[in-house]
Amino acid sequence: MKKAFVLAALAVSTAAFAAQAETIRFGIDGNYPPFAKQGADGKLQGFDVDMAYALCTAMKVTCDIVPQDWDGLIPALNANKFDAILSSMSITDERKKAVDFSNKYYNTPSRMIAKSGSKVEQAAFKGKKIGVLRASTQEKFAKDFWGKSGANIVSYGKAPEGFLDLKSGRIDGMFVDSVVGETDFLKSPQGKGFAFVGQDFSDKKYFGTGAGIAVKKGNKALIERLNKAIEQVRKDGSYKKVQDKYFSFNVYGG
């Protein structure tokens, strides 16, 4: 009887340790401030990173952040380099063919940055160059909207590379997520003389229903856990705490 009790206790202890030791690895592109950037200590920091840790706390798991450039995120996920992508990835029908998504964890529009007073009508950039992040929803929209009217769409592996070319005059506009454009360029010294021009762009055909967390196709168990965690951090105040660290508005959206 005593031996059985000891074995049972050991089994419970082992199970508890396994649960505590569980790690979820999140792939994040570190070239997208304020959502993610490399800190002075070499580690990633930003809204996406803090949100990953908040969700891990809600799920009672250890969090491992894996840096990965944007255009390699989905291939790396499918190669099991990490368990999920938490990197401002818009939930779109096209991407749903390659990965499954959680519910959204934020939603912001895309906008054009150019010299103050520039126009953004479909033919306004004919013969001009527009920068976008490679493999982004902004790239696809820009190619269909301005590209088919004669604009040259220039794709960058990292958004800051596009901002450098915009400042130097090598491109005429940069089409990006509005928060990234404001934080990483317009509020910096190099953004002087530039502004958001034209309207917000949020066509669901291109931009989906917000940014979600991507997992490998068929991993329903992880999707359910992530959705519950998103709901929990929204309710317990953890989400607002992270949001208010980076934004002065409701980044979750309506």
233 in a domain, yes or no?
yes
Among candidates 104, 246, 95, 94, which has minimal Cα distance to 180? 246
Identify whether residues 6 and 52 lie together within a single domain. yes
Identify whether residues 97 and 24 lie together within a single domain. yes
Identify whether residues 148 and 227 lie together within a single domain. no
Identify whether residues 16 and 82 lie together within a single domain. yes
Identify whether residues 103 and 214 lie together within a single domain. yes
pLDDT at 253: 87
Task: Name the DSSP letter for residue 106.
Answer: B
DSSP string, 148-162: GGT-EEEEESSHHHH
236 in a domain, yes or no?
yes
Q: Is 70 exceeded by the pLDDT of residue 86?
A: yes
Average pLDDT rounded to a whole number, residues 70-83? 97
48 in a domain, yes or no?
yes
Identify whether residues 118 and 103 lie together within a single domain. no
Q: Is 70 exceeded by the pLDDT of residue 134?
A: yes
Identify whether residues 11 and 22 lie together within a single domain. yes
251 in a domain, yes or no?
no
Average pLDDT rounded to a whole number, residues 226-231? 98
Identify whether residues 169 and 222 lie together within a single domain. no
Residue 189 belongs to domain spanning: 110-207
Average confidence score pLDDT of the chain: 92
Give the global pTM.
0.80
> Considering its fold, how many domains does the chain have in total?
2
Identify whether residues 102 and 10 lie together within a single domain. yes
When mean pLDDT is compared over 2-6, 45-49, 199-203, the highest value belongs to 45-49
253 in a domain, yes or no?
no
Q: Is 60 exceeded by the pLDDT of residue 2?
A: no
41 in a domain, yes or no?
yes
254 in a domain, yes or no?
no
CA dist., res. 156 & res. 179, Å (int): 18
Residue 91, SS3?
Answer: coil
Identify whether residues 115 and 167 lie together within a single domain. yes
Q: Is 50 exceeded by the pLDDT of residue 45?
A: yes
Q: How confident is the model at residue 3 (pLDDT cuts 50, 70, 90)?
A: very low
Identify whether residues 48 and 80 lie together within a single domain. yes
Average pLDDT rounded to a whole number, residues 125-138? 97
Where would I find the beta strands (DSSP E) of the chain? 23-28, 31-32, 36-38, 44-45, 62-67, 84-90, 99-101, 110-115, 129-133, 152-156, 173-177, 194-201, 211-216
| CATH number of the domain residue 100 falls in | 3.40.190.10
Q: Is 60 exceeded by the pLDDT of residue 250?
A: yes
pLDDT at 248: 83
pLDDT (tens digit per residue) in 141-164: 999 999 999 999 999 999 999 999
Q: Is 90 exceeded by the pLDDT of residue 96?
A: yes
252 in a domain, yes or no?
no
Identify whether residues 26 and 95 lie together within a single domain. yes
